[in-house]
Amino acid sequence: MSATRIRILSARNVLPLGRGQSGGAQRSDGDSKLRLLTSPHLSPSSPARALSSLSATRRGLPQEKMSENGMMSRAKVLTIDNMNPTVKKVEYAVRGPIVQRALELERELSEGMKKPFAEVIKANIGDAHAMGQQPITFFRQVLALCSYPELLNDNTFPEDAKSRAHRILQSCGGNSMGSYSASQGIESVRKDVALYIERRDGGMPCDPDNIYLTTGASDGIVTMLKLLVCGEGASRTGIMISIPQYPLYSAALAELGAVQINYYLNEENCWSMDINELQRALNEAREYCNPRALCIINPGNPTGQVQSRQCIEDVIRFAAKERLFLMADEVYQDNVYADGCEFHSFKKVLFEMGPEYSKSVELASFHSTSKCYMGECGFRGGYMEIINMDDEVKVQLTKLVSVRLCPPVPGQALMDLVVNPPQPGEPSYDSFLKERTATLNALAEKAKLTEQVLNTVQGISCNPVQGAMYSFPRIIIPEKAIKEAMALGQQPDMFYCMKMLEETGICLVPGSGFGQKDGTYHFRYSA
Amino acid sequence: MSATRIRILSARNVLPLGRGQSGGAQRSDGDSKLRLLTSPHLSPSSPARALSSLSATRRGLPQEKMSENGMMSRAKVLTIDNMNPTVKKVEYAVRGPIVQRALELERELSEGMKKPFAEVIKANIGDAHAMGQQPITFFRQVLALCSYPELLNDNTFPEDAKSRAHRILQSCGGNSMGSYSASQGIESVRKDVALYIERRDGGMPCDPDNIYLTTGASDGIVTMLKLLVCGEGASRTGIMISIPQYPLYSAALAELGAVQINYYLNEENCWSMDINELQRALNEAREYCNPRALCIINPGNPTGQVQSRQCIEDVIRFAAKERLFLMADEVYQDNVYADGCEFHSFKKVLFEMGPEYSKSVELASFHSTSKCYMGECGFRGGYMEIINMDDEVKVQLTKLVSVRLCPPVPGQALMDLVVNPPQPGEPSYDSFLKERTATLNALAEKAKLTEQVLNTVQGISCNPVQGAMYSFPRIIIPEKAIKEAMALGQQPDMFYCMKMLEETGICLVPGSGFGQKDGTYHFRYSA
C-alpha cells in the first residue's frame, strides 16, 4: 500500500515510520531532526514580537466605538469582561500560543518568506499520521467498506475485512454508519471492547454495560470529571493530578471550577509516583477543598514513564484508604518500550488485589484509537470502562452522554477493529501483524534515540522514555535568558521554545504548559 | 447502489425513502405506520410497571452495605447525593425513559416474547438512515476513498469523487484522515463552507475565519452557550429559548447553571414567533436574571414551522434593541416543503438590513450533516458561523475548542462534500441531483401525509409541517387517563406515549419533553 499511497507531503516525513524503509534510513532521518533540536541559537530578538502580538489585549472598550468605516457601532453583548470566567481560566499549551505561531510561520513560508528553516516540524503533539506513520491497512479497508458498502462486491478486498464490515453495518440502524448509535455506543462494539479487556487482563470479567464509547479519550475524561464536581468554597471538589500533567486535566478542571490538586512525579526516579507525595498533596488540599478523585496517566504523558505493578497496587490502596475515585488514563497501553517494563492495567491489578478492593474501589479507565500503533487521532474513537460505579450515578452518566447523542460512528467502528483485530488464520492476520510490529518497533527505536541524542547535549538531561510517545527533558536556561524572558512577561521555557521555533522551525511545548517544579524548566518533545 | 446494498433490516423500512421505489409504495407504507399511530388502545395497565421500574430510587444508603456475596463493602465515593447537582437537573426526553423502554421492548421481542406488534418503530428521533433513507452515493464514495486511498487507483470510482478525495487528503496531515486537524477545523473545509454560505445568501461575504467546524451542531450550540454563562443570583445569565424547544437547549442550560427563559411559539398561528411574546418573556426574566441571548430554531424542531423573512427581520430588530446575542439553529435549512415557504438565513437577513445591524448584531448560526437530504447523523459533522463576535472572545472560543483537539475528521470531510457537492458538468452531478431530489421529495411527501392523516383522527390536531422533519400534533387526553397518569406521578402525555409504545410499538416523544403550554398535550413524531 505504501508505494501507491499519495505522498504529496513526503518532505514532512522527517521521522518516517514507513514500513518499506530500512531502519538505517529512519535512524538517520530521526537523527537529523534531533540534531536541529540540539542547536538552538538563542538570540534574544524575534520571539518578543510574536508573543506580544498574541497577548495583546484591548480592555476597557467604550460602550460605543468607531468602526472601520467611521460609523458608530454598539459595544458587544459578549465581551472578554462579561464572558464565562471559567472559560477564561482554561489553558491548553499543546495547542497554545506556540502552535499559533507555528501556523503563522507555515503560512509565511508558503508565501515565500525567508526563514532559517524550510519547514515547520510539529513536535508539539502526538499526531502520528501527520508525522508519516502509515495507518493499518486492514482498519482502513474495513472503514472504506463500511463507508461505501457497494465495495462488499469488490473481490479485491480480503474476506475478513468484508465480514468485519458486514458485522459492523449490521449493528448500525438501517445498516448505515450515518445513523445515530445508542448514546453509550454500539452494543456489539461494547461487547468486543469487553472481550478485549478480558483477554488483556488475563480473564478478569468485564461487563459490556460498564463500557461507554467516547469521542476520543478526552470526552470520557471530561465526562467523568463533570460527574464528580460539586460543593462550594472549602467543600469544592478537588481532583488530584500529576505534575507534569497532560493539560486536558487542568483545562477541564478550570472550566468546571474544580480545584486542581498537584502531586509531583519524581523526576530523579524516572518520573515515578510516590505515595508519600500523594499523601502530602492530599493532606494539604484537605485544608481548602474536598478531594474526591485521583487521576493517573500510565504510560505517562508528557513524561513517558511506565508504572510498576507494585506502584499501581500502592496507589489503589491509597485511593481505597483515602476514599478517592480513581481515573486511569491508559491510552498508551501498547506503547511500552523499555526492557523490564510492562503495562499493567489498573483494572487488572485492582481485581487481583481481592474482593476487599475489587468490590469497592471506584475506577474509570480510558482508552482511545489515537495512540498506540494505530495513531488514528482524527477519527476521535475511544472508550471508558467504569468499575464499581454507584447504580444511580451510572443512570445519570448514561443520561448525560445521551445529550450529545452518540460518539462518531466511524470512530466506534475503528475502536471495534482495534479491540478485535485480525486473528491467526484470517487472511489479513499476517500483514496486520507485520504493520503493527513495524510501527511499534519504529516508535521504540525513536524513544531510545530521543533519550540518547538529547542526553548528548550540554544543558539537557532526559529520563529514559519507557513508554508513551513523549520525552520531557530538563533544560538548563542561562540566567541571562531567564531575565530576558521575565522582562517580557514570559515563562523562561516558553521563551526558549519560542526561540527554538523561530530559529529552527521545531515546535515544542514548554514544560510550564504541563507543570513542573518551581525553578526547573522542561519541554515536551513528541516522537 | 440501492439494489446491491445489504438490506438485512429491510423489514424496518416502514417509511422507505428508497429511490428505486414508486411514490405509491411509499404512500402506502407511510400510511400504514400512521394508521398504527392513530389507533392507540388506551388501556390503563402496563405502562405503570415500565415507568416505575425506571424511576426507582434507593436513596439514603448506609455508609457500609451488604454486597451480594455477604461481604461488607464501603459506601461509594460518588453517589447520587454528592454528584454534580447540575448534571442531575439535565433532562433529554429524545433519548429519555421512553426510549429506554423501547430498547427493552426490542430486546424482549428478539428473545421471543409476544407483543401486540412485531417490531418497535422509532419515531422519537430524526435518524433518517435508520428509517431506510439511503446515503448520497457520491458522499460515500469520497469517504471510502479518503478512508482507504489505495482506492484512488480503482477505475470504477468517478473522477470527480477521486479529485474531491484527493483534495481533502491533501488538507490532512500526512494525507491521512487519522491526523488531528486544526481545532477550528480543516482550513480548506472552512473555506468551502464560507463559499457555500456566500452562494446560499446571494453573495453576502463570509470569512472562513468565522467558521468553526463542530462535532454535529450540538457541539457548537453547547460551546456558544458556555461562552455566554456568567454571574450569580439575579445577574445569572438567562437564555431565551422557544417553547416547544429541542431539549438540547434545556439540557445544556441546566448543566451550565444558566437560567432558561421560555418564550412560547403560537400554535394557533402555525407555531410562529411573536415579538410581543418575546417582549413579555424578556421583561419578566429581567426581574430574576440577566438575559443575554436569544435562540431560534428555523425550520422548527419539534414544531416544523418555517419563519417568514419579515419575522426574522423583526427578531433581529428585537435582539438589537434588547442587546441579545442571537443563536440561529438552521440545521433543517434544506427541509422546506410548504408552498410559499422559503428558508431565509439569519445571516442573510441581518446583512440585508444594512450596516446599523450587520456591523453590530452578534450572531452564531449552526448547521450539520445530520439533517436535510444527507441524514448523516452518525458522522457528527457540523459547523458554526460567528458574526460580529468580539475579537478577544473569539480568541477564547478558539482556545476553548482546542481542548477537545478537533472535530472528527470524517465528519469534516462529509461537511465539505455537503457544502461543495458535484457541480453541473461533473460526472457525478446527475446521480447526485437525482438522489438529492428523490430524498427531499419523499420527505416533503411524508410531511404532507403526516399532517393529513393525523388530522383525520379525533382528538388529534396537527399544524402544517412546513419544514424540518417533525410534526408536533396536539392531543386531547381523556380526563380519566389524565387522572390515572397523575396518580402514577406521570405527565399525561408521557402516559399516552408509553401506552402507545406498549400497545403499538411506536416510540414517540411526549410534548412535555419539549415544553408546551400548561394544560395542552402533544407528542413529537419524526417522519
CB contact under 8 A, B389 and A76: yes
What pLDDT is stored for residue A309 in this prediction?
96
CA–CA gap between residue B261 and residue B312 (Å, rounded): 19
Say whether the ipTM exceeds 0.85.
Answer: yes
Confidence of residue A34 (pLDDT cuts 50, 70, 90): low
Answer whether residue A207 is part of any domain. Answer: yes
Q: Is the dihedral of CA B370, B375, B380, B384 positive or negative?
A: negative
Residue from A55, A379, A392, A395 to probe the interface with B (highest B Cβ count within 10 Å): A392
Residues A286, A317, single domain; the answer is: yes
The percent helix, strand, coil of chain B (3-state, each to 5) is: 45, 15, 40
Contacts of A172 in chain B (CB under 8 A): 129, 378
B 127-166: CB under 8 A from A: 127-133, 135, 137, 140-141, 143-145, 147-154, 156, 166
Answer whether residue A147 is part of any domain. Answer: no
Is pLDDT at A512 greater than 50 in this prediction? yes
CB contact under 8 A, A380 and B406: yes
B409 touches chain A (CB under 8 A): yes
Residues A223, A322, single domain; the answer is: yes
Chain centroid, CA B264 distance in Å: 19
Residues A414, A441, single domain; the answer is: no
CA–CA gap between residue A433 and residue B310 (Å, rounded): 63
Residues A403, A484, single domain; the answer is: no
User: Pick from B468, B431, B450: which is nearest to B20 by CA?
Assistant: B431
Answer whether residue B261 is part of any domain. Answer: yes
CB contact under 8 A, A392 and B57: yes
Nearest by CB to residue B173, choosing from A73, A76, A130, is A130
Q: What digits encode the pLDDT tens for the residues B305-350? A: 999 999 999 999 999 999 999 999 999 999 999 999 999 999 999 9
Q: What digits encode the pLDDT tens for the residues A87-112? A: 999 988 777 788 889 989 999 999 99
Structural domain ending residue among the three candidates A419, A448, A478: A419
Answer whether residue A56 is part of any domain. Answer: no
Strand partners, A261: A240
Answer whether residue A53 is part of any domain. Answer: no
Answer whether residue B154 is part of any domain. Answer: no
B258 touches chain A (CB under 8 A): no
CA distance A57 to chain B (A): 7
Residues A199, A327, single domain; the answer is: yes
CA–CA gap between residue A162 and residue A363 (Å, rounded): 36
Residue from A405, A415, A509 to probe the interface with B (highest B Cβ count within 10 Å): A405
Q: Which helix (H) or strand (E) holds B382?
A: strand B381-387
What pLDDT is stored for residue B37 in this prediction?
53
Is pLDDT at A256 greater than 60 in this prediction? yes
Contacts of B376 in chain A (CB under 8 A): 178
Contacts of A155 in chain B (CB under 8 A): none
A 30-59: CB under 8 A from B: 57-58
Q: 3-state class of A294 per DSSP?
A: strand
Residues A377, A234, single domain; the answer is: yes
How many distinct structural domains can be found in chain B? 1
- Which triple of cell numbers denotes residue A204? 478478569
CA–CA gap between residue B255 and residue A354 (Å, rounded): 38
Residues A288, A328, single domain; the answer is: yes
Answer whether residue B306 is part of any domain. Answer: yes
Domain around B325: 170-419
- pTM assigned to the model: 0.87
User: What is the CATH classification number for the domain harbouring B309?
Assistant: 3.40.640.10
Q: What digits encode the pLDDT tens for the residues A330-382? A: 999 999 999 999 999 999 999 999 999 999 999 999 999 999 999 999 999 99
CA distance A28 to chain B (A): 20
What pLDDT is stored for residue A43 in this prediction?
36
Confidence of residue A141 (pLDDT cuts 50, 70, 90): very high
A428 touches chain B (CB under 8 A): no
What are the Cα distances from residue B244, in Å, to B272, B274, B296, B451? 11, 14, 11, 18
A419 touches chain B (CB under 8 A): no
User: What is the CATH classification number for the domain harbouring A498?
Assistant: 3.90.1150.10
The residue of chain B nearest to residue A229, with distances taken between CA atoms, is B84
Nearest by CB to residue A410, choosing from B174, B355, B410, is B410
A 485-514: CB under 8 A from B: none
User: Pick from A105, A10, A399: which is nearest to B84 by CA?
Assistant: A399
CA distance B6 to chain A (A): 8
Residues A338, A226, single domain; the answer is: yes
Place of cell 458522499: B139
Place of cell 397518569: B485
CB contact under 8 A, A379 and B408: yes
Q: What digits encode the pLDDT tens for the residues B352-410? A: 999 999 999 999 999 999 999 999 999 999 999 999 999 999 999 999 999 889 999 99
CB contact under 8 A, B179 and A144: no
Residues A403, A445, single domain; the answer is: no
Nearest by CB to residue B393, choosing from A80, A85, A378, is A80
Confidence of residue B93 (pLDDT cuts 50, 70, 90): confident
The residue of chain A nearest to residue B183, with distances taken between CA atoms, is A95
Answer whether residue A49 is part of any domain. Answer: no
Q: What digits encode the pLDDT tens for the residues A64-86? A: 444 444 455 578 999 999 999 99
CA distance A456 to chain B (A): 30
